[in-house]
Amino acid sequence: MLRLCLLLILIFCQSGCHKETIPLLPPIARITATLHPLPDLRIPGIELVEVPASDLSTFANLITPASPCLQEQGIRLRPDMHYLVADVFLEHEDGSKSTVTVRWTGHNPAAVSLDGRKYYYGGTDAFPDGASKVIRLLREYDYAAQKAPFNISPIVRITAELYPVPKLGILGIELVDVPESELSKFASLVTPNKPSIQEQGIWSKPDTYCQVANVIVEHQDGTRSNLIVRWTGKNPAAISLDGSKYFDSGSDAMSIVRLLQEYDSRAHDGVSKPSERSNGSGLFD
């Protein structure tokens, strides 16, 4: 009887008394990462990106083991469903280094591993889908590290084609010439600024984030910038110079469309000024 009791106690302790030890990471001094291409999500890879010093704690929280990963068995059985998102390289304050493998887990914290075998959930915050946030942040860091995407040479001419978008009530205009007096104003609305947080949506739902205009900017140095303008609702319009990387513009797409309609109307009637036609002339008034 005593032997049976001892056996039951041992079994109970093994199943319920033992608490899995979560690995601790030394203080982090630097983070770099490789973002793997994710064809199913239409996300290209990034060979190497560095996390800004100001964001170290935020990003480190997402890839630091915090609790046992309940999807570990699924990762072993179907790694193709739990996408390999990134390899994160940590340099610690004590001079040591660690590599963290990050995998997709749907609407959960990212699955992170220090050895590629044992997985834990990374830390999280108000954004529960950890892997998505890891992807978004790495792409933002990569964009922010790039040189200004827009040619700073003075602008001498801007022309545009307005695309027909029936669901938004937009009629196409083959060619609009921005008036010389409006060059600076219009350029400020279509100049690429910070990386667009809408980019993932653009790739997954291009029909929703439809292209509304193509803008040609001619510079004093003889070069031309071709700007693709996409609809993003009430958010800043998404601007791209190459059709792959999108940035926030200085205005929403509605305002850009309205101005192009205005310039076209002025070119045809030669009478009205923008201030006189701003109420009631555009499709979005």
Q: pTM for this one?
A: 0.53
Q: Which tens digit of pLDDT belongs to each residue from 92-130?
A: 999 999 999 999 888 889 999 999 889 999 987 665 667
pLDDT at 129: 67
Q: Please list, in sequence order, all residues whose beta carbon lies within 8 angstroms of the beta carbon of residue 100, skipping any fewer than 6 positions away.
A: 63, 87, 88, 89, 90, 112, 113, 114
Q: Are 202 and 208 in contact, with CB atoms under 8 Å apart?
A: no
Share of the chain above pLDDT 70, in %: 84
Helices 183-190, 253-269: axis angle to 10 degrees equals 150
The Cβ of residue 40 has, within 10 Å, a number of other Cβ atoms equal to 11
Per-residue CA distances from 264 to 160, 174, 259, 268 (Å): 10, 10, 9, 6
Token pair 């032997």 in the structure block, residue: 3
Contacts of 285 (CB under 8 A, 6+ apart): 258, 278, 279
Q: What percent of the chain has pLDDT over 90?
A: 47
CA distance 146 to 224: 20
Average pLDDT, the chain: 83
Residues sharing a CB contact under 8 Å with residue 55, sequence separation 6 or more, in sequence order: 137, 141
For the ranges 147-151, 249-253, 280-284, the one whose mean pLDDT is highest:
249-253
Mean pLDDT value across residues 186-213: 87
**How does DSSP classify residue 44?**
-
Q: Among 5-19, 43-57, 70-84, 194-208, where is mean pLDDT lowest?
A: 5-19
Task: Give the angle subtended at the CA of 110 by the CAs of 83 and 18, to the nearest 5°.
Answer: 120
In this predicted structure, the answer to whether residue 1 has a pLDDT above a threshold of 60 is no
**Average pLDDT of the residues in 18-24:** 76
Could you tell me the CA-to-CA distances from 42 to 37, 45, 135, 206 in Å, in that order?
8, 10, 12, 11
Encoded amino acid at 177, one letter:
D
CA distance 98 to 30: 11
Tokens in use for 84?
Answer: 């390999």
